[in-house]
Structure 1
Amino acid sequence: MNEQFIKDLSSGINGFLTHLEPMKAVEGLTPSTARKKPSDKYHSCWDLLHHTVYWQDILLKNLDGKFIDWMTLGNEDNWPSNEKLSKDEYFLELVKKFKKNLEITANKLENIDLMEKIKIGPEHTPDVTNFRLILVFLQHTSYHLGQIVTTRKLLGDWKEE
């Protein structure tokens, strides 16, 4: 049964039977376009990708058994600073990091006990299984990829297949 879970989760990481393969959401996205917002009510694609990668990093640390007090995480880290937004190379590195995080997560599936409960935060934080952390990774990533695609559509930067 664990083997089927791993296969299904791995296919989810790669976008099988979901809206799209994750890297397609950022394919062809330039730093200049990634900075743009359709209006002040929206985040930019860059904002959304930064936020996604930030939380992927935290979840990957949790999967490595590292304790993180989520309550101490600052909102300023959750979104890119103006300094980062001004540097094209940061966006290009962010795209690479996003791809790497997907690969790391897929590899972790082969080496973890999905049903093992782990402590991820302070005493009031319930223990969770590795399976739950992988689901959070997938759900959070998928949600924000949808936002990135929608933002690109609103900016006229999305080609339908």
Structure 2
Amino acid sequence: MPAPPRSLASDDRLRHEVAALLQGRQAHVDARAALGGVPADRVGDRAGGEHSLWELLWHLRFTQADILEFVRSPGYRTKDWPADYWPDRPAPPHGSEWEATRQAFLADLDALVALAETGDLFAELDHAPGYTLLRELLLAADHAAYHLGQVVALRRRLGLWPPDEP
């Protein structure tokens, strides 16, 4: 039995839901809240865990940028897993790098939300048959939700959660 035709209303609803999933809130932590207000001198502390806040942010930024590149670029080149996807140290080499990386992650997140709101969610990517924008957006949201959960858990261990109210 063929699927019922999609309506403009159902497409708009799907776009809204995917954008909301990417942005967090609802049942997932908001990336801006999870990554905001972290003292620079604490981002390299693992607090007995496997990763520091820096490592988690760096991984989130790199992976999300990789997904964004994959959907945008027919010349996409596969990265080496896991070597390319994790930083080589628990803290950034320069104090300003935490904020620059956080801003880059948030800018790419906004770009993914824009694609959710305007892109063709169901068309296969020309350079990757079988892959759709919808699949990649869901992948990005799922990946971010998992690691942002780790960020919150680590911030709790570090005594940095919940964040101070403005």
TM-aligned CA deviation for residue 111 of structure 1: 2.6
The correspondence for 1:109, drawn from 107, 116, 123, is: 116
Q: Supply the AA of the counterpart residue of 2:69.
A: K
TM normalised by structure 1 equals 0.85
Alpha-carbon separation, structure 2, partners of 1:79 and 1:31: 19
TM-aligned CA deviation for residue 47 of structure 1: 0.3
With over 3 angstroms needed to count, the CA separation of the structure-2 counterparts of 1:154 and 1:83, relative to structure 1, is: closer
Q: Point out where structure 1 has 5 or more consecutive residues left out of the alignment.
A: none
- Quote the residue 1:136 is aligned against: 139
* Length, aligned pairs only: 155
Alpha-carbon separation, structure 2, partners of 1:83 and 1:46: 6
Kindly indicate whether the alpha-carbon contact (under 8 Å) linking 1:62 and 1:120 is maintained by their aligned counterparts in 2.
no
- Quote the residue 2:152 is aligned against: 149
- Quote the residue 1:2 is aligned against: 11
With over 3 angstroms needed to count, the CA separation of the structure-2 counterparts of 1:85 and 1:58, relative to structure 1, is: same
> Does 2:120 match 1:118?
no
TM-aligned CA deviation for residue 29 of structure 1: 0.7
Alpha-carbon separation, structure 1, partners of 2:157 and 2:74: 39
Provide the aligned C-alpha RMSD in A: 2.2
Q: Of the two, which has the highest radius of gyration?
A: 2
Higher helix proportion (structure 1 or 2)? 1
Alpha-carbon separation, structure 1, partners of 2:137 and 2:44: 29
Q: What are the Cα deviations for residues 47-76 of structure 1, in whole angstroms up to 9, with x where unaligned?
A: 011001101011101221434343x42533
Kindly indicate whether the alpha-carbon contact (under 8 Å) linking 2:40 and 2:95 is maintained by their aligned counterparts in 1.
yes
TM-aligned CA deviation for residue 84 of structure 1: 6.7
Alpha-carbon separation, structure 2, partners of 1:56 and 1:136: 9
The correspondence for 2:33, drawn from 18, 24, 35, is: 24
> Does 2:66 match 1:66?
no
Alpha-carbon separation, structure 2, partners of 1:139 and 1:32: 29
SS in 2 for 1:127: strand
SS in 2 for 1:37: coil
TM normalised by structure 2 equals 0.83
Q: What is the percent sequence identity of the aligned residues?
A: 23
Runs of 4+ more than 6 Å apart: none
Q: Point out where structure 2 has 5 or more consecutive residues left out of the alignment.
A: 1-9
With over 3 angstroms needed to count, the CA separation of the structure-2 counterparts of 1:65 and 1:3, relative to structure 1, is: farther
The correspondence for 1:34, drawn from 40, 43, 48, is: 43
